[in-house]
Amino acid sequence: MADVKENTTPKPSAQSSGAKEPIVADRVHVWPYLVRNEFICSIIVMVILTVWSIVIDAPLEEPANPTQTPNPSKAPWYFLGLQEMLVYFDPWFAGVVLPSLIIVGLMVIPYVDINPKGNGYYTFKERPFAITTFLFGFFFLWISLIITGVFFRGPGWNLFWPWETWDPHMVIALTNIDLPAWGPFKWMGNPKIFGIEVIGFVLIALYSSTAFVFYYVKRDMSETIRQLGPVRYGIVAFLFLTMMSLPIKMFLRLAFNIQNIWVTPWFNI
């Protein structure tokens, strides 16, 4: 009987068969690298807040008097951004619509994200628009409003420079007007021609239409817009234009004393 030799030929490994092993050279563990940096940052922030609270006296006043309202009457610092927005928008828009859109906008981020790498990749190179928009909205629009309300708003909610003394008797005569009654739009506000309601609606419509124009112009030149598609692009454009309405209204209010753009018997924007 012939001897049967055992086949000792090694089986092809996953690497020799063409399968690629996961690359982990560009990854680091959460512990100790991330946790250590977060711990150091928390210690630094705690030291700064401790020294600040010791050096600066707390602005405590006498017990609240229901018969005398302080001037200025300010909300807690974390609500001063909303209180500052009341200067530029009606209360229903600044206190309800805009905060709701901020929450909804943060909730829809995962559904409009088109990064093929998925979660965990948040570098500026991979997400330039998202990071730039967030930094602009958080620091310029939110943090700056809080700083303005804390340090620059004095009696009568007037603007004061840091080197100016807060004068509770100072009165600034401001003539607030609506955009349909200002400058070149004034003659169009005649009810016989258009009316202020129609002018404001047309201006808001033209402002919103910039998103559609940009989409059809850049759709064939931008890979990002093509990947977003019309629905996701519409959501992103709506939230972006709503966010940009705040600095636009701030500029119109501070430079030209323009209060509202769209004036109707039911609401003002």
| pTM (predicted TM-score) | 0.72
What's the confidence (pLDDT) of residue 70? 82
Task: Tell me the CA distances in angstroms from 168 to 64, 72, 148, 153, 202, one per residue in order.
Answer: 19, 8, 18, 12, 41
Q: What is the mean pLDDT of residues 80-105?
A: 90
Residues with Cβ within 8 Å of 21's Cβ and at least 6 positions away in sequence, in order, are 14, 15
pLDDT digits (tens, 9 = 90+) for 148-180: 998 999 888 888 888 888 888 877 767 788 887
Distance, CA of 8 to CA of 80 (rounded, Å): 77
Residue 1 has pLDDT above 50, yes or no: no
Distance, CA of 242 to CA of 85 (rounded, Å): 13
Q: What is the mean pLDDT of residues 108-131?
A: 79
**What is the C-alpha R_g of the chain?**
29
What's the confidence (pLDDT) of residue 49? 92
Q: How far apart are the first and last CA of the chain?
A: 100
pLDDT digits (tens, 9 = 90+) for 190-213: 555 566 778 888 889 999 999 988
For 106-115, the CB contacts below 8 A with 24+ separation are 108/235, 108/239, 111/232, 112/228, 112/232, 112/235, 112/236, 114/224, 114/227, 114/228, 114/232
What's the confidence (pLDDT) of residue 195? 67
Where helices occur in 219-262 by DSSP H, the ranges are 223-256
Query: What percent of the chain clears pLDDT 70, i.e. is strictly above it?
Result: 85
Task: Tell me the CA distances in angstroms from 141 to 89, 133, 146, 163, one per residue in order.
Answer: 14, 11, 9, 24
Q: Are 215 and 233 in contact (CB under 8 A)?
A: yes
**Which range among 101-105, 115-119, 120-124 has the greatest average pLDDT?**
101-105
pLDDT digits (tens, 9 = 90+) for 82-94: 999 998 998 889 8
pLDDT digits (tens, 9 = 90+) for 47-72: 999 999 899 887 777 788 888 888 88
Phi and psi angles of residue 80, each rounded to the nearest 5 degrees, phi first? -70, -25
Structure tokens at 203: 């201006």
Q: What is the mean pLDDT of the chain?
A: 82
Distance, CA of 183 to CA of 251 (rounded, Å): 16
pLDDT digits (tens, 9 = 90+) for 110-119: 888 887 776 6
Q: For residue 43, name the pLDDT band (cuts at 50, 70, 90).
A: very high
